[in-house]
Every structure is written in C-alpha cells, then in structure tokens.
C-alpha cells in the first residue's frame, strides 16, 4: 500500500532522514514513534507530499507519488493533526463537507454522509452540525477532525499526534474509539506519536525512529520481547512487557527441557530418573514426543508393586496449554484447576515444555526484584 525506497531528506545542511526503507500494508495501523527530531513527522508528511524527499521514491498502491497529481493525492487521503485543523469560521457541517463539495457530490449524498460520520464518532448530528468549533470541547473538536478525515472514505488516513493535546480521559476515549473504528473499517492508517503506551495500544506494527533512522519496525509483542537495539530497549522501558502480560506467552516462561521418559519404564527406574534429575515428576511421551501422561513421585509412592510400569499408574487425563497461550490464561487455568504442573504443547501437539507453580514463582519473583532494583 505505502512503500518508501531509499528515501533521504535534508534541510539545508541538516540530514533529517537517512535512506529510509519502509513498507506499510493495506489495512494496517502503523505507528511511527521516536523522540523529538527523529524524523517521524517528516516521514508522515512525505506520504501526502507536504514534504518532498531529497532523494528516493515513495509509492502508494504501487504508483510513484512523484508522478501523481498532488491535489488528487491529498483529496484521497484523510489527514488529522494535533490542533484539529478545523476552520474556526465554519460550522461543523461546513468543515466536514468541504472536500465532498469540492468534489461536487450531490446534496443528498453529502447530507447522508455527514450524518453517517457524526454517528460514527458518537456525536448527535442535530445537536452538533450547526455549531462552531469553539463551542465544542477539545475532545469533541478532535472527533470532528477524525470525521472530516474519513469524509471521502479514503483508503489511507494520516494522523500526526492527533490526541497529544487532550486530557488523559479524552485521550483514552479517542484511542479506544479509533481502535474500534479501525477494526470495523480496516483503513491503512499511519499514526505518529511520541507516547509508547499509545503506540502499543493502537498499532498493528510500530516503527521506532532515532536521528532519521528506522531502528525497528515490528509488532508490539516482538518489540517488547526482543528490542533490536539498546536505544529501543531504553525507549520502550526495559520491563514494559510486564505491564502487558497478555504479550507474555507460555513459551516465554516454560521450562524448556522437562524430564521425559517412556511408558515402559518401571517404577524403580523412574525413581532413579527423578533422583538423578532432582525432579518430582516425569512427562511420559512416545517416540514422537506426543504426551501420554504424567507421573509424580506421589503417584509412585502409592503403588505397592514396584515392578509396575508407568503406563499402569500414570495420569492420562492431563491438562495442557499451548506455547502461544498468554501467561494471563495459564495462571487462570492453574488457579481454576488447582494444578501444579502444566505441560506445554506446540502447534503439532508435541511436548515442548513444562510450567510449574515453582517456576512461575521464580519468574515472577525475579521480575519483582528487577523492578525493585530499577526504582
């Protein structure tokens, strides 16, 4: 949908963008974030030709925007800025319908679309359409700014720190509303912010910039788990992922080498395996690592016949989780089922790890100590 190829930008002697290569997919909400002066707003404004590259090319729908008519290009893109950009001498109706009128839409179509847009942003058309911007709160003005950006039903919407001037309550409300709108409309949205919380809350992918360079462009989950650069780690906060526990998966906290054995082992052999590995449970698997059951030291002690094999005493009805399950779900299941051992399976139902209450306590207590050291 949008692609930057080897884009550079200099203002006089100062280089603002260094050989930017970036591809934003259709229907994606991509967030560009970084400290002041990193080049994020410059990057955004190049998409609608408010700023032109010193060198390199930008493509929209595989068309080089250098060759596109600038007015038509902009009319087919929504644009929302921090100060709303509403014309103070125009009513809300006039602000929203400006571009449709320039495009010579019929009055019936304009009226229908205007009411539809106000409904989309949760504002009553009869109550607000004939008011002026200064008669609205900051949050209401920004909602109108979003509605105007969607007026022509554009495929692309550019948003330059649209919520940064709002109070926290209004900001959170608008973030939630934008997220819901995006789930419904699936526009290609490029959103600039300096707030990492906002980026994580909204972005399908996040592009982190510094000094005109892209340091990492990835999903929020991957950036939180695997920051590619020391600056990225510092910028997002070293322990931020623990504020987003839904991003922590079973595979991130599991014991990756659980002690395994086969079902033909005798009780005596199993006790020796447990002692050698200093564990009190064994995962019973077949040769393909398919989990057959679990045997604990408590199960073994119950058996009087030490010649029995594990297949005769193992617990076969075993609760398991997927390696992609979140730690939130895993903890809930452990508590609900009052269990101490949870085998972790991959997408092919093969045993890949084990979560125990003690391993969870170790991981969480280590994190607590790290947080304390960071205070």
23 and 100 housed in the same domain: yes
Locate the DSSP E strands across 211-274: 213-218, 260-261
242 and 256 housed in the same domain: no
CA distances to 107, 157, 188 from 152, in Å: 14, 11, 14
Query: Is residue 373 one of the residues assigned to a domain?
Result: no
At 357, the pLDDT band (50, 70, 90 cuts) reads confident
Of the listed ranges 145-154, 221-230, 354-363, the one predicted with least confidence: 354-363
Query: Is residue 374 one of the residues assigned to a domain?
Result: no
Query: Is residue 316 one of the residues assigned to a domain?
Result: yes
Query: Is residue 22 one of the residues assigned to a domain?
Result: yes
Query: Is residue 85 one of the residues assigned to a domain?
Result: yes
173 and 30 housed in the same domain: yes
102 and 134 housed in the same domain: yes
177 and 266 housed in the same domain: no
**In the chain, % of residues over pLDDT 90:** 46
Instruction: Report pLDDT for 372.
Output: 47
Judge whether residue 374 has pLDDT over 80.
no
- In terms of Cα–Cα distance, which of 9, 46, 34 is closest to 158? 46
In this predicted model, what pLDDT tens digit does every residue of 276-317 receive, in sequence order? 888 888 999 999 999 999 998 888 888 767 778 999 999 998
25 and 102 housed in the same domain: yes
Q: 64: which strand partners?
A: 59
3 state DSSP class of 305: coil
226 and 304 housed in the same domain: no
Determine the longest span between alpha carbons in the chain, in angstroms: 92
101 and 177 housed in the same domain: yes
6 and 148 housed in the same domain: yes
For residue 121, which phi and psi values (nearest 5 degrees)?
-100, 10
- The structural domain count of the chain equals 2
Judge whether residue 368 has pLDDT over 60.
no
At 327, the pLDDT band (50, 70, 90 cuts) reads confident
Query: Is residue 370 one of the residues assigned to a domain?
Result: no
Domain that holds residue 291: 251-365
The CATH number linked to 324 is: 3.10.580.10
* Mean pLDDT on 319-324: 90
3 state DSSP class of 346: coil
Query: Is residue 133 one of the residues assigned to a domain?
Result: yes
Give one DSSP letter per residue of 19-61, joined into a string: EEEEEE-TT-EEEEE-STTSSHHHHHHHHTTSS--SEEEEEET
Instruction: Report pLDDT for 369.
Output: 45
Instruction: Report pLDDT for 362.
Output: 62
CA distances to 69, 71, 248 from 63, in Å: 11, 15, 40
The CATH number linked to 203 is: 3.40.50.300
User: Of 224, 247, 270, which residue sits at a domain end?
Assistant: 247
| Cβ burial, residue 81 (10 Å; 0-12/13-18/19+) | middle
First-residue to last-residue Cα distance in the chain: 44
Contacts of 9 (CB under 8 A, 6+ apart): 15, 16, 17, 39, 42, 46, 51, 53, 54, 212
User: Of 247, 273, 289, which residue sits at a domain end?
Assistant: 247
Cα 339 from Cα 367, distance rounded (Å): 23
3 state DSSP class of 65: helix
3 state DSSP class of 291: strand
69 and 206 housed in the same domain: yes
Give one DSSP letter per residue of 170-213, joined into a string: HHHHHHHHHHHHHHHH--EEEEEES-HHHHHHH-SEEEEEETTE
336 and 274 housed in the same domain: yes
Cβ contact 270:261 at 8 Å: yes
Query: Is residue 80 one of the residues assigned to a domain?
Result: yes
Judge whether residue 361 has pLDDT over 70.
no
**pTM for this entry:** 0.69
In this predicted model, what pLDDT tens digit does every residue of 243-266 receive, in sequence order? 666 677 888 888 888 999 999 998
46 and 83 housed in the same domain: yes
Cα 174 from Cα 162, distance rounded (Å): 10
Instruction: Report pLDDT for 24.
Output: 97
């Amino acid at each position: 949908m949008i692609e930057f190829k080897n884009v550079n930008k200099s203002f006089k002697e100062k280089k603002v963008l260094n050989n930017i290569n970036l591809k934003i997919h259709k229907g994606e909400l991509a967030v560009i974030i970084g400290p002041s002066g990193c080049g994020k707003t410059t990057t955004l404004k190049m998409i609608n030709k408010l700023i032109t590259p010193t060198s390199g090319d930008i493509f929209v729908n595989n068309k080089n925007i250098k060759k596109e008519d600038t007015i038509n290009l902009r009319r087919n893109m929504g644009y929302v800025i921090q100060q709303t950009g509403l014309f103070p001498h125009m009513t809300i109706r006039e602000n929203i319908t400006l571009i449709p009128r320039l495009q010579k839409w019929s009055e019936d179509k304009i009226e229908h679309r205007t009411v539809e847009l106000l409904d989309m942003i949760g504002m009553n058309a009869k109550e607000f359409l004939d008011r002026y911007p200064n008669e609205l709160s900051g949050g209401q003005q920004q909602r109108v700014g979003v509605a105007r950006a969607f007026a022509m039903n554009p495929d692309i919407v550019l948003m330059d720190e649209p919520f940064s001037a709002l109070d926290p309550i209004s900001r959170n409300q608008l973030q939630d509303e934008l997220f819901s709108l995006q789930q419904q409309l699936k526009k290609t949205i490029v959103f600039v912010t300096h707030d990492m919380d906002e980026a994580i809350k909204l972005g399908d992918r996040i592009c982190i910039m510094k000094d005109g360079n892209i340091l990492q462009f990835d999903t929020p989950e991957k950036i939180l788990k695997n920051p590619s650069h020391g600056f990225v780690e510092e910028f997002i906060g070293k322990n931020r992922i623990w504020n987003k526990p839904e991003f922590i998966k079973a595979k991130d906290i599991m014991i990756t080498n659980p002690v395994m054995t086969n079902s033909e082992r005798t009780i005596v052999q199993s006790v020796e395996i447990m002692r050698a590995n200093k564990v009190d449970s064994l995962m019973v698997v077949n040769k393909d690592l398919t989990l057959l059951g679990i045997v604990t030291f408590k199960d073994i002690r119950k058996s009087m016949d030490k010649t029995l094999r594990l297949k005769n005493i193992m617990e076969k009805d075993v609760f398991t989780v997927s390696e992609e399950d979140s730690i939130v779900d895993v903890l809930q299941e452990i508590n609900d089922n009052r269990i101490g051992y949870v085998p972790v399976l991959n997408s092919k139902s093969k045993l890949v790890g084990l979560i125990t209450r003690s391993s969870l306590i170790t991981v969480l207590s280590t994190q607590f100590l790290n947080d304390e050291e960071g205070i």
